[in-house]
Structures are given as structure tokens and as C-alpha cells.
């Protein structure tokens, strides 16, 4: 069901797909077709989730932020953006925000050093969010609220906002706005 040239191309260019193909083939031939197909679908799904997690990035006004955190002077993880407004910090999350990346995004948000008066989390580039993502944002917003820092979520599609609200990220915890300009106007600080 696959041409020889395609098999050679997969083995030359993509180690992940080569592993899935080899595993599926070997299990189908030496064990059972049902087991082979089940393993292939499972491994293919894991490979897909891994690749989706790799494309997610967080951007500040100064550009993209790597999800790997640097070690701080005290030995702990810290992240301080290169450009920071004194009153408002804006972060844009781009890509699918799901369990495969929620912990990394949460670590970046939690490791932010100085605390401004408000955070704006722009989710315009987030096509989907799941329960793990909602819990990561809820945890961040709860910590920010304790420090009397407002959190605005802007640009969230109806689907993303619905997933967030269904998992505890509601108007009692964050403020929703259509765009960054609207959020800044509500904060009372234009920049």
C-alpha cells in the first residue's frame, strides 16, 4: 500500500515516521495486523502531539520567548523579558495550547520576575485549548490575583474561551477583552 520510493524517503528524512513505519510493519508481520495497526496509530498520535508541542511559542513585545528557562543567579529558574513596560506585560501564545505544552507555558509564565500592574495574554494565535491549558492559566491567574495583578485574556476565539470558562478561567479570575487595545483602555493605561 506504499511505494518503495516513499519508504526510502521516509527513512532518509524523518526518523520519527521511520520508527512508526518500522514498528507497524514488524508487529503486523511477526505478531498480528490488529496489534500492528493499533501500535502504529498510537505512535503516530504521539509523534503528532510532540510536533504540535514544538511549534507553540510565547511572544513578548521583544519577540519569541524560548520555552526552555534559563537558570537564575540563585539556582532557580527565572525569565525576565527583554522589553518590559513598567505597568503592563503582554504575552502572545501562538499554536495549539494543549496538555503537551501546558506545563512549559505555565513554567514560563510562573517564572516571570518583576510583577506589573497587569498581564495581557493574547490568545489570538491559539486555535484550541484543553483542560490542562485552562488549569495552567487558572493557576497563573490565581497567583497574579493574590499579588493584585490583573490578568486580561484577549483575542480568544469562542471555542477557546468556552474551554477556559468551562475549566474555571472565568470573569471572576480574569478579564476578557477583544483585543490588546481594549484591554489597555480598561486598565486605564494607554501605551
In the chain, the largest separation of any two C-alpha atoms, in whole Å, equals: 68
Q: What CATH number is attached to the domain comprising 139?
A: 3.30.750.24
At 50-93, the pLDDT tens digits run: 777 666 666 665 433 343 334 444 444 333 443 434 578 888 88
List the domain range (segments joined by +) for residue 30. 4-53
Shared domain for 40 and 73, answered yes or no, is no
Mean pLDDT of the chain: 78
Counted domains in the chain: 2
Q: Determine what percent of the chain falls in helix, strand and coil, rounding each to the nearest 5.
A: 50, 20, 30
Task: Put residue 75 in one of left, alpha, beta given phi > 0 → left and psi -120 to 50 → alpha.
Answer: left
pLDDT over threshold 80, residue 152: yes
pLDDT of residue 113: 64
pLDDT at 183 over 80: yes
Domain co-membership, 46 together with 20: yes
Amino acid at each position: 500500500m506504499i511505494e518503495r520510493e516513499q519508504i526510502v524517503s521516509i527513512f532518509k528524512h524523518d526518523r520519527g515516521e521511520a520508527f512508526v513505519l518500522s514498528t507497524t510493519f514488524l508487529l503486523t508481520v511477526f505478531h498480528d495486523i490488529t496489534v500492528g495497526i493499533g501500535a502504529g496509530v498510537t505512535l503516530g498520535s504521539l509523534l503528532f502531539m510532540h510536533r504540535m508541542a514544538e511549534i507553540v511559542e510565547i511572544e513578548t513585545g521583544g519577540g519569541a520567548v524560548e520555552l526552555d528557562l534559563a537558570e537564575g543567579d540563585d539556582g532557580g529558574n527565572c525569565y525576565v523579558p527583554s522589553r518590559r513596560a513598567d505597568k503592563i506585560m503582554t504575552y502572545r501564545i501562538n499554536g495549539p495550547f494543549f496538555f503537551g505544552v501546558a506545563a512549559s507555558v505555565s513554567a514560563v509564565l510562573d517564572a516571570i520576575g518583576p510583577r506589573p500592574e497587569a498581564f495581557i495574554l493574547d490568545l489570538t494565535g491559539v486555535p484550541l485549548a484543553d483542560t490542562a491549558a485552562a488549569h495552567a492559566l487558572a493557576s497563573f491567574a490565581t497567583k497574579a490575583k493574590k499579588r493584585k495583578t490583573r490578568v486580561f485574556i484577549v483575542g480568544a476565539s469562542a471555542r477557546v474561551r468556552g474551554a477556559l470558562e468551562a475549566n474555571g478561567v472565568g470573569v471572576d479570575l480574569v478579564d476578557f477583552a477583544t483585543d490588546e487595545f481594549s484591554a489597555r483602555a480598561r486598565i486605564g493605561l494607554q501605551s
